[in-house]
Amino acid sequence: MSRAGWAFALGFCRRDLGEAQARAVSLAVAAAVALTVAATVVALAVPDVATEVRLRRMAAQPWTRCVWVQPLSSLDPKFTPERLVALEASARARLPAADPGLAVVGFHAVSLDVFDLNRDATGLSPYGRTVAAGDPLLPALPGLVRGGGGWNPAAPAGLLLCPRYLTRLGGDPDAPPAAVRLRAPASKRPIAWPVAGVLKEPLPLGHVFLIGAADYEALRAADGGDPSTDAESEPLPAGWPATWDDFPAPLRKAVREDGVEASVRPTLAGRALHLADRDRSPRTAADWEAKFRAVAAARPTGPALKWSPQGVTRLPPPPPLGPPEWATVYVTRPADLRHAAEAARDADLYANDANRLLVEEVEAAARSARRVVAALVAAFCVAGSVSLTLALYLRGRQKAAQYGMLKALGATDATLRTLAVTEAAALWLAGASLGLAGAAALGASTLAALGVGWDVLGAALAGDWPPLVAGFLALSLVACVVGNAVATRWVRRRPAAESLGLTS
Amino acid sequence: MSAFTAVGLSHTYPGAAVKALDRLTLTVPAGQVTAILGPSGCGKSTLLALLGLLWDGPGPTGRLTYHGADRDHDLLALDTNSRAALRGDAFGFVLQSNYLLPHFTCLQNVAMPLALQGWPARVREAWARRLLAAPGVDPHGDLAARADAMPRAVSLGQRQRFAVLRALAADPDVVFADEPSSNLDPRNTTAMFELLALWRGGDLFPAAAADFAADRATPAKLRPWLAAHAGPRRPRTLVLVCHDAELAERHADAPSVCLSTPGGGA
């Protein structure tokens, strides 16, 4: 086609597109293109954007962008500071790009016997974990606690409980107790420990509470007495009863009500009074001494009762805490979790990479979604192309007389074909521009509703989205142009005499 | 000298049982007005469509020759592009309906044949205005006043006269007029035939073509065309299709072609 032909076509279609006779169909064609483009552009972006949003949400929470590691055997060395540094170096070498957020921090998995809030019986020995100073989890915790709680990352004190566990204890997550009663790790003595808050979500690894590492050390040291679960007197002097049943009934009743079981037992030196806590809860030496004094006071006649601290059965002191048996490898990008897990495995460690599997699930879901969306878009495009061709055919029929007159004035088939192509391209351009603007508006409002920034589109732009959209736009242009060429073929091939009513 | 020669020309529309034209033999003299007469359905418009190359479907048989200025054209054997070229260069059409394009001004409609020949918009619209301003073209001044209006804004008679001007804009050798005055009042009918007479007289274009050729702003590619049309008088043929014998007698200066029954024997 010559330049003059194109110039004629451009000049003609500039006026022709708004022509009243075919305006409704022209608008319908442009609207169909706009809707198809908008829907397709948005649909094609959804898998990439949704994946990026999910990965960003994972990246925002320290415990969804980390791998937990521990030695394969309890005989293997634990995480000394040197081992943590070596593991961090190994992970850094594995990552494909520098990651300033890479950190390896140890923690202890600990068990505490916590009393039910409503009853004395326990029966629960839940596991939780410590969080040490310098752990990236620490500064993030206020955001993970309901209502912010009373958790101070700078000086963490008290327990953070999972809501379901608190419910199991008989508490209300929305109105947590100020403290829970638990057994001191050293003395096993019941003590109260403050509750700093209730977490919004369950903790990973099945933990149900979280405690600052320094706070846990304080908890271990909180019971500084001389505890034991039972005590024994010196041999009973002559004149004392031979059995506990021979002691005065009021005394026996008072001792029983105090939770103590008493008995007279034979020893190498003679019969001695034995007192034991009925629940095997440790009591301090002072507590036992008061009990013996009460027994002696209840029997004022006879020689005085002597008792010795050596008669107290002592509990072994708690072992030193030592290096942590768990470590957390944090990365900035969830996609790097697989490298962190590989680094741990290289170091003969067990890696709990639930988060890595989650990333793979997200990516697999994105791939599936892309395939589904591509199939839907393809079907939509086929339907759209057919509708478009029909609309353009209708438009062509409406303009048959005009085409006939142009033929009478000397327009060649090539000129009319160029005209059809130009008009289809112009309709497509108008519709595609509207569609892209609509897609941008729809995308912006959706991202705003999700609270996600525009930069999330960077992931889509870096992925398959641009070529897919470009390919679709090119295909839709071809469909529009070819559709119009096909649609106008009838009117172009129709003898001008018929179009102009000379054959009736 | 003849413009068209038909020998044994027959035509049957696809699917029709009856021939629209049956072994028609005729001669249309060049430079004259030839009327094609006959009742409705006798094949007048079909003959015009065949002569004017407006039928490019199957059906016509026989021989139909156009004797152009430079050579003869076998109209039933021309390829598509040659037919389009001949329609654009040598033929003009005035039909019962004006078929002005509704989204172009009347002036732009007049210049439409030149647009199809690649004339720049500025030159072709200047040419159309010059045509409107030529003596005798617009005796009442109403066309010039409405030239920039859209067709829907002018009267039916004015539209038809603009359509005549469109047919004449490229100075064709033959103009086919199919019942051109059937929708017009006497005043517009007279004005229209005067316009056609002015074209046939050959005084409409030479001066304008010479002026445009002399204008330095005129693109070089148009100069050969302008030179050809600024030259000596050429025979200009009008083929007038009508059913009104009186009208034919008034305007035709060659023997009329009378078609009768469906099947159209001359």
pLDDT of residue B266: 45
One domain, residues A122 and A188: yes
Residue B265 lies in a domain: no
Dihedral, A427, A432, A437, A439 alpha carbons, nearest 10? 140
Tens of pLDDT, residue by residue over A62-76, are 889 999 999 988 888
**Interval A161-182 mean pLDDT:** 89
Give B49's contacts in chain A (Cβ within 8 Å): 495-497, 502-503
Angstrom distance (rounded) from CA B127 to CA B139: 18
Alpha-carbon distance B257 to nearest alpha carbon in chain A (angstroms): 18
Residues A388 and A411 grouped into a single domain: yes
Examine residue B231 and state whether it is found in any structural domain, yes or no: yes
Q: Is residue A66 part of a domain?
A: no
Same domain membership, residue A291 and residue A210: no
pLDDT in tens, A75-134: 888 899 999 999 999 999 999 888 998 999 999 999 888 887 776 555 667 899 999 988
Instruction: Grade residue A224 by pLDDT with cuts at 50, 70 and 90.
Output: very low
With respect to residue B36, please indicate whether it lies within any of the assigned structural domains. yes
Phi, psi of B204 (to 5 degrees): -80, -35
Q: In the numeric block, which tokens belong to residue A157?
A: 């004190």
Q: Distance between CA atoms of A334 and A359, rounded to whole angstroms?
A: 7
Domain-ending residue, one of A225, A247, A276: A225
Cα nearest neighbour of B221 on chain A: A4
Which of A139-148, A247-256, B161-170 is the least confident region?
A: A139-148
Which of A114-133 are b and which e, b meaning 16 or more Cβ less than 10 Å from the residue's Cβ? bbbeeeeebebebebbbbbe
A139, A63 in Cβ contact below 8 A?
A: no
Measured between alpha carbons, how far is A209 from A163 in angstroms, rounded to an integer?
9
Structural domain count of chain B: 1
DSSP label at A134?
A: T
Do the Cβ atoms of B103 and A410 come within 8 Å? no
Chain A / chain B CB contacts < 8 angstroms: 100
Same structural domain for residues A400 and A485? yes
Contact A413 B80 (CB under 8 A): yes
Same domain, A371 and A492: yes
A60-74, A134-148, A313-327, A445-459: the lowest-pLDDT one:
A313-327
Kindly state whether residue A90 falls inside one of the protein's structural domains. Answer: no
CA proximity to B51, closest of B15, B13, B101, B11: B11
- For the question of an ipTM over 0.90, the answer is yes
Whether residue A69 lies inside any domain: the answer is: no
Mean pLDDT of A5-9: 80
**Does A126 map to a domain?**
yes
Whether residues A363 and A457 fall in one domain: yes
Taking a C-beta distance cutoff of 8 angstroms, is the pair B28, B34 a contact?
A: yes
A455 and A384, same structural domain? yes
Does the residue B73 lie in any domain?
Answer: yes
Distance of residue A393 Cα from the nearest chain B Cα, in angstroms: 19
How does pLDDT run across A377-421, given as a tens digit for each residue?
888 888 887 887 788 788 778 888 888 999 999 998 888 888 888
Of B57, B85, B104, the CB nearest to A15: B104
Residue B88: CATH number of its domain: 3.40.50.300
Residue A187 backbone dihedrals phi, psi, to 5 degrees: -95, -10
In this complex, the residue of A18, A21, A408 whose CB is nearest that of residue B87 is A408
- Are A8 and B13 a contacting pair at CB < 8 A? no
Task: Give the domain extent around B234.
Answer: 2-258
Q: Is residue A504 part of a domain?
A: no
Domain-located, residue A474: yes
- The whole-angstrom separation of Cα B264 and Cα A220 is 121
Within a domain: A285? yes
- Report the candidate in A91, A52, A103, A105 with the shortest Cα–Cα distance to residue A332: A103
pLDDT at residue A326 tops 70: yes
| Short-list A305, A264, A263, A255, CA closest to A283 | A255
Top mean-pLDDT range of A283-287, A315-319, A480-484: A480-484
- Residue A107's pLDDT is 95
- Chain A residue set in contact with B, beta carbons under 8 Å: 2, 4-5, 7-8, 11-12, 15-16, 18-21, 401-402, 404-415, 495-498, 500-504
CB atoms within 10 A of CB A61: 15
Stronger pLDDT, B197 or A22, i.e. the higher one: B197
Closest CA to A495 of B210, B26, B55: B55
Residue A491: pLDDT over 80: yes
How many domains would you assign to chain A? 3
Q: What is the largest CA-CA distance in chain B?
A: 59
Instruction: State the nearest Cα–Cα gap between A418 and chain B, in angstroms.
Output: 12
Contacts of B117 in chain A (CB under 8 A): 4, 410
Which residues of A are less than 8 Å from B81 in CB distance?
A: 412-414
- CA–CA separation, A83 vs A18, rounded Å? 76
Residues of chain B in contact with residue A412, where contact means CB-CB under 8 angstroms, are 80-81, 84-85
pLDDT digit string, tens, across residues B143-162: 999 999 999 999 998 999 99
Q: Where are the beta strands (DSSP E) in A101-187?
A: 103-107, 109-111, 127-131, 159-161, 179-183
Residue type, B166: R
- Going by C-alpha positions, the residue among A136, A128, A132 that lies closest to residue A160 is A128
Cβ neighbours for A130, distance < 8 A, ≥ 6 positions apart = A107, A108, A110, A210, A211, A212, A213, A216, A324
Residues A186 and A241 in one domain: no
Residues 6+ apart with CB under 8 A from A182: A112, A113, A114, A115, A190, A191, A192, A193
Collect all residues with Cβ–Cβ distance below 8 Å to B136 and sequence separation of at least 6.
B194, B195, B198
Q: What is the distance, to the nearest Å, from the Cα of residue A217 to the centroid of all Cα atoms in its chain?
A: 29
Q: Are A472 and A381 in contact (CB under 8 A)?
A: yes
Residues A476, A431 share a domain: yes
Which residue is closest to A403 within chain B, CA to CA? B101
* Amino acid A83: pLDDT: 92
The answer to whether position B263 is within a domain reads: no
Domain of residue A152 covers 109-225
Residue A466 has pLDDT above 50, yes or no: yes
State the pairing for strand pair B21-29/A103-107.
unpaired
| Residues ≥6 apart with Cβ < 8 Å to A473 | A37, A432
According to the model, what pLDDT value does residue A121 have? 53
Do residues A418 and A490 share a domain? yes
Q: What chain B residue is nearest to A414 in terms of C-alpha separation?
A: B81
Top-ranked range on mean pLDDT: pick from A150-154, A452-456, A491-495, B155-159? B155-159
| A247 and A205 in a common domain | no
Say what the pLDDT of residue A129 is: 94
Please list every residue in chain A whose beta carbon sits closer than 8 Å to the beta carbon of residue B99.
401-402, 404-405, 500
Residues A45, A145: one domain?
A: no
Confirm or reject contact between B157 and chain A (CB < 8 A): no
**Is the distance from CB of A87 to CB of A344 less than 8 angstroms?**
yes
CB B30 within 8 A of CB B238: no
B13 touches A: beta carbon within 8 Å:
yes
Of A18, A21, A500, the CB nearest to B54: A500
pLDDT reported for residue A449: 85
Of A16-30, A428-442, B18-32, B137-151, the poorest mean pLDDT is in A16-30
Q: What are the residue ranges in chain B where pLDDT is below 50? A: 263-266
DSSP code of B122? H
Q: Does the residue A346 lie in any domain?
A: no
Q: Is residue B264 situated within a structural domain? A: no
Q: Is residue B146 part of a domain?
A: yes
Q: What is the mean pLDDT of chain A?
A: 84
Disruptive mutation site among B116, B123, B221 for chain A (greatest number of A CBs within 10 Å): B116
Domain final residue, candidates A250, A281, A311: A311
B45 is a domain residue: yes
Residues of chain B with C-beta less than 8 angstroms from the C-beta of A497? 45-46, 49, 54-55
